[in-house]
Amino acid sequence: MSISSFLTKKFLKSLFFPAHNRGGALPKKLVKLLKNPPGYWDLPELPEIGSPLSKSGLIANSQRDFSEKFGAKRCFFGVNGASGLIQSAVIAMANPGETILMPRNVHISVIKICAMQNIKPIFFDLEFSHETGHYKPITKIWLDNVFKKLDFDNNKIVGVILVSPSYHGYAGDLEPLIDICHQKKLPVLVDEAHGSYFFFCKNLNLPKPALSSNADLVVNSLHKSLNGLTQTAILWYKGNLINEINLIKSINLLQTTSPSSLLLSSCEESLKDWQNKKSLSKYQKRILEAKKIYKKLIQKNIPLIETQDPLKIVLNTSKAGIDGFTADNFFYRNGLIAELPEMMTLTFCLGFANQKDFLNLFEKLWDKLLLNSKKSKSLEVLQSPFELVQAPEIEIGIAWRSETRSIPFSQSLNKISGDIICPYPPGIPLIVPGEKIDIDRFNWINNQSLCNKNLVNFNIRVL
Ligand SMILES: Cc1ncc(COP(=O)(O)O)c(C=O)c1O
């Protein structure tokens, strides 16, 4: 079968990204555009359109309008996912050899750019839940303790990255965290890939958006948490701690010379759609419906985990003695496609289309799964093996460029990794180049791979 034939395959219910749910919630203007003769709209960077870095043209005007409306100094559309803009933000923040403080649940795009640019990550651990296997949101006390452990004299720490909300939708209060960093004059990049729509729903008791919480740089994924096409993203810039010229140079360095006009239009329309009163009230209704779905499932004793993002339905399959991968496989075979299987949980993303039919289908399938599956597994997720503050034993850029050999992970104890081992989704590395596979980490990665077929008998490149 060709890719193009597969793209029109029908699933009973698709609860994965992109959040427009297979076109169900695309902005009307984009739908209209796509109804034109196929490919007609695929234009190059004509002067009237420009590019995200042009001083004039439709894109520049649009970005200027959004910056003004949302209280940013500048914003930039991106067509290489949140990944591309996060990487530009990282190199705007740090020069080669400098250090960035970042949490353990940072996205793989950050690790890749650190390896490429010889930027040194210092990781801080996060509070961990044995019940779910997930990291919890960071509190001010937690970050205070991290800062107390940092050796500012021997590391040139030039910035901090925070991830909020997480893939599952956990989010805490960002402002006090950003305050701590700003007291040290450290700029903060917030990876808000999963929280773009928080901007538009201040009345719905959702987490406060990163830009309103004084972040210096914020990256939103417009296909994960607004109704943009895959690869669309936006970077917001604010404050005085990041040099604007550096930022522009950094975007320029990683940007394609041929950004897709369709994707750029999708960046614009997904944001504009939420500024349109009628569409906004429709989407807000969807969010309230999502809250109701959660409540109803809880009333039926279905083990859901509460997060701060109503659009994520996180099923704690482990409560029924079933791992998330087995559950995912079962739902997939029955036409209900989830987003993120993990050992203890399975996460569904409701997105912005109407999901009223999800409730009955989900209930029916969950009951069937409970009846049909073996529930003998004693599922236990190991505590992450990290110190509160920890840097790789060898600089990430050096380890990445070193000569490595590929060996079975089972033989890697006490070796130094030259690899990034990272299940996707969620794209959070288990180990990065330069880190030692000590016994705790070895056991932890083995534990992580118990149910995940992608991590069974895998090879790792070691120094
Ligand atoms: C927290 C987080 N940040 C960034 C990204 C990258 O987003 P994109 O796929 O748009 O490049 C992801 C993708 O999974 C993510 O989960």
pTM: 0.98
Tell me which of 77, 83, 170 to substitute to probe ligand 1's pocket, judged by most ligand atoms within 8 Å of the beta carbon: 83
pLDDT value at position 377? Answer: 63
Q: Please give the pLDDT value at position 405.
A: 98
Dist CA 47 CA 30 (whole Å) = 21
Map 186-229 to HEC letters: CCEEEECCCCHHHHHCHHHCCCCCCHHHCCCEEEEECCCCCCCC
List, by residue range, all CATH 3.40.640.10 domains of the chain.
Answer: 8-391
Q: Is the CB of 163 under 6 A from ligand 1?
A: yes
Q: What angle do CA 82, 88, 94 make, to 5 degrees?
A: 130
**CA 221 to centroid of ligand 1, rounded, Å:** 7
Q: Does ligand 1 have an atom closer than 6 angstroms to the CB of 426?
A: yes
Which stretches does DSSP call E strand in 87-133? Answer: 99-103, 120-124
With H, G, I as helix, E, B as strand and everything else as coil, classify residue 16.
coil
CATH topology of domain 402-462: Molybdopterin biosynthesis moea protein, domain 2 (3.90.105)
The sheet carrying 346-349 orders its strands as: 304-305, 312-315, 346-349, 340-341
Residues 440-463 pLDDT 10s = 999 999 998 888 888 888 999 999
- Asked whether 108 lines ligand 1 (CB < 6 A), one says no
What number of CA atoms fall less than 13 Å from residue 303's CA on the CB side?
Answer: 14
- Joined together, the tokens standing for residue 382 give 């190991």
pLDDT score for 373: 83
The dotted CATH code for 8-391 is 3.40.640.10
Q: Does ligand 1 have an atom closer than 6 angstroms to the CB of 167?
A: yes
Q: What's the pLDDT at 159?
A: 98
Residue 453 CA to ligand 1 center (angstroms) comes to 22
Q: Name the residue with tokens 């959040």.
A: 19
41 φ/ψ sector (left φ>0, alpha ψ -120 to 50, else beta):
alpha
Residue 149, number of CB atoms within 10 A of its CB? 12
DSSP, res 134: P
**Ligand 1 site, residue 384, Cβ cutoff 6 A:** no
Q: State the Cα–Cα distance between residues 30 and 41, nearest whole angstrom.
A: 11
Q: Which two tokens stand for residue 381?
A: 């997720």
Please give the pLDDT value at position 322: 95
Alpha-carbon dihedral 444, 445, 446, 451, rounded to 10 degrees? 110
142 lines ligand 1 (CB under 6 A): no
First vs last Cα of the chain: how many Å apart? 40
β-pairing, 389-390 vs 120-124, is: antiparallel
Tokens 């810039």 — which residue? 237
State residue 376's pLDDT score: 65
Cis preceding-peptide flag for 137 (omega within 30 of 0): no
Ligand 1 near 233 CB (within 6 A): yes
The C-alpha atoms of residue 459 and residue 453 are separated, in whole angstroms, by 13
Q: How far apart are CA 361 and CA 293, in angstroms?
A: 12
Tokens representing residue 27 in the block: 């902005």
Q: How remote is the CA of residue 85 from the centroid of ligand 1, in Å?
A: 10
Tens digit of pLDDT for each residue in 49-85?
A: 999 999 999 999 999 999 999 999 999 999 999 999 9
The H-assigned helical ranges of 243-347 are 244-254, 261-273, 277-299, 324-333
- 44 Cβ contact partners less than 8 Å away, ≥ 6 residues apart: 258, 261
Backbone φ and ψ for 161, nearest 5 degrees, come out as -115, 135
pLDDT for the residue numbered 166: 98
d(C-alpha 456, C-alpha 458), whole Å: 5
The identity of residue 47, as a single letter, is P
- Pocket probe mutation, ligand 1, options 87, 221, 231, max atoms within 8 Å of Cβ: 221
CB 306 within 8 A of CB 131: no
Start-end ranges of CATH 3.90.105.10 in the chain?
A: 402-462
Identify the pLDDT of residue 356.
84
Token pair in block for residue 441:
């980490």
What is the atom index within ligand 1 of the atom nearest the CA of 105?
Answer: 1
Does the CB atom of residue 82 touch ligand 1 within 6 A? Answer: yes
Per-residue pLDDT at 430: 95
Hey, what are 11's tokens?
A: 């699933």
Spell out, as residue ranges, where the chain has pLDDT lower than 50. Answer: none
The amino acid at residue 22 is R
